[in-house]
Amino acid sequence: MNTSLSKVALITGGAGLGIGHGISEALAAAGWNLVITDRNPERGAALAHRLSKDGVKVEVVTVDITAPEAPTQAVEAALKCFGRLDGLVNNVGVGLVKKAGEVTDEEFQTLFNVDFLAAFRFVRAALPALINAQGAIVNIGSVHARLAAPQYALYAATKSALDAFTRGLAVDYGAQGIRANIVHPGLVASPQNGPLLTKLGVDPETWIKEFTSTKQCLPDLVTAREVGELVAFLLSKNARSITGQSIYIDGGTTTLLWNRTEKL
């Protein structure tokens, strides 16, 4: 593979234990060169070593994505290493499980900075290079942008904002060849699920089995790699006419009107 001609994607949190690594794996398998941001240099280096084969090159930029200078550093790294930038994936996100009336200003600001402001800044920094390459943007949202769950009001608000922002990007920059879409995953199989569910006082295996049997049309959790394959498709030329879309990958969670086990 001639890497000088290979397309380049910038993925925030691309070495993460959740969806991030699935996106990086799928894009590397499709032949993309990658620029990955991660706060953990060892984790980033390990993923880069694993994915750097068959002509694929992976550059890791160790930054806190909420730092104002982080987007420019990442974009400059892409241009320095590869001379181009064809795709941006705003993947990093944090959660907040708390009733709206109990959320502090500091908690809200942290959530907003990671889940929305950072994505906006990365888009702003990447747009000149993306326009030059006629590239694409994929933002990672959540089913919470559409459905309500207890104690998720503020998290849902940030993902809804990201959803609207994505549509606006498609409108503002479509004439310049830019496509922008947002992927909304449901519950994704991840090593992080176990500790989180245990912390909430439930048995992870039992809870996940009940969730997939009652809250999804399909009986299995979405995998990080499946999310990655969807992102890879949306960045590819095969999706050249798809823009401004909110695409759900959730096993049918957003399709159900009531629990699958309930009788009519």
CA atoms of 89 and 32, how far apart (whole Å): 13
Least confident of 101-105, 125-129, 204-208, 260-264: 260-264
Instruction: Say what the pLDDT of residue 2 is.
Output: 37
What does the alpha-carbon distance between residue 191 and residue 251 come to, in Å, rounded to a whole number?
19
What are residue 8's DSSP bridge partners?
Answer: 33
Mean pLDDT to the nearest integer, 24-49:
95
Cβ atoms of 39 and 64 within 8 Å: the answer is yes
Whether 183 contacts 233, CB under 8 Å:
no
Active site residues: 155
Q: What is the DSSP string of 98-119?
A: S-GGG--HHHHHHHHIIIIIHH
| 232 pLDDT tier (thresholds 50, 70, 90) | very high
* pLDDT tens digits for range 65-95: 999 999 999 999 999 999 999 999 999 999 8
Please count the residues of the chain.
264
Residue 28 has pLDDT above 90, yes or no: yes
Predicted confidence at residue 159, as pLDDT, reads 97
Domains of the chain, each with CATH number or no CATH: 8-189+223-255 (3.40.50.720)
Per-residue pLDDT, averaged over 162-167, amounts to: 98
Rounded to 10°, the helix 70-82/118-133 angle is 30
Q: What is the pLDDT of residue 259?
A: 80
Structure tokens at 119: 């994505």
CB 90 within 8 A of CB 137: yes
Determine the 3-state secondary structure of 245 from DSSP: coil
pLDDT of residue 257: 84
pLDDT at 83: 96
* Residue 181, pLDDT above cutoff 80: yes
- End-to-end CA distance of the chain: give it in Å, rounded: 56
Q: Which token pair is 126?
A: 């990447």
The C-alpha angle 235, 237, 243, rounded to 5 degrees, equals 60
Q: Is the model's pLDDT at 203 over the cut of 80?
A: yes
Residues paired with residue 89 on neighbouring β-strands, in sequence order: 11, 138
43 pLDDT higher than 50: yes
pLDDT at position 3 over 50: no
The structure tokens listed for 32 are: 């993309």
Q: What is the pLDDT, as a whole number, of residue 192?
A: 81
Six-digit token pair at 210?
Answer: 């009940």
Rounded CA separation 240/10 (Å)? 19
The pair of three-digit structure tokens given for residue 111, joined into one six-digit string: 């959530």
Per-residue pLDDT, 1: 38
